[in-house]
Amino acid sequence: MTGDILKAGAPLESAAGAVILLHGRGAGPEDMLGLAEALAWPDLAFVAPQAPGRTWYPYSFLAPLADNEPALTQALAQVDAAMAGLGREGFAPERVVLLGFSQGACLALEYAARHARRYGGVAALSGGLIGPEGTPRDYAGSLAGTPVFIGCGDRDGHIPLWRVQESTGVLQGLGAEVTERIYPGMTHSVNEDEIGHVQAILAGLPVPSHPN
């Protein structure tokens, strides 16, 4: 795998599964590797792409889609490149988890919806699908039982709860098994309960029939 991607955890050639980590606005892949350490899952490989200028797209995720172009399309292409790179290393999508925080959480959900298939899991910490209210959600394909976790605080000034709830419904309509948690009093952050939900997704990854 090439490009601006940091890696941690198990070597790709021996890992039981892989996690694509998508950072938030103004952050970087190194921040997400800190989250990987908190997950404490040593048999997984963690790959963390870097957004140009540390921002996946320039405006709010609720802005008109055209306002965030071409950056949004380029960001989705970076996620796709990471998926393709893992595929070349022998990781089928059902052995890959998409995990993002904030802007990265929005990107993870939007990528999964636009490329619906069975993933190992999707976890969005403080995020929702991208686009303004009323955005058509006529995504093709099926998430085929993919476990999805969406967590958000009820005092998050960036992520309105109606978008969290809308995202849950859309992903359920695509065939995902969605767990949504709204945390009273929590702002734009990550808590231990969310870590536990992500660990539960990781625990459900299939055991490879043949090592990489």
Q: What is the DSSP letter of 116?
A: B
Rounded to two decimals, what is the model's pTM?
0.95
Distance CA 61, CA 97 (A): 22
**Which pair of tokens denotes residue 75?**
């960001």
Distance CA 118, CA 129 (A): 18
Alpha carbon distances (Å) from 204 to 26, 45, 153, 201: 32, 15, 25, 5
Would you write out the chain's pLDDT as a tens digit for each of its 212 residues?
A: 334 789 999 999 999 999 999 999 999 999 999 999 999 999 999 999 999 999 999 999 999 999 999 999 999 999 999 999 999 999 999 999 999 999 999 999 999 999 999 999 999 999 999 999 999 999 999 999 999 999 999 999 999 999 999 999 999 999 999 999 999 999 999 999 999 999 999 999 987 765 44
- List all residues 6 or more positions away from 84 whose beta carbon is below 8 Å from its beta carbon: none
Which of 75, 86, 176 lies closest to 123, judged by CA? 176
Question: Which CATH homologous superfamily contains domain 5-203?
Answer: Alpha/Beta hydrolase fold, catalytic domain (3.40.50.1820)
Phi and psi (nearest 5°) for 67? -65, -30
**Which pair of tokens denotes residue 125?**
């910490």
Strand segments, DSSP code E, in the chain are: 5-9, 17-22, 44-49, 96-101, 121-125, 147-153, 177-183
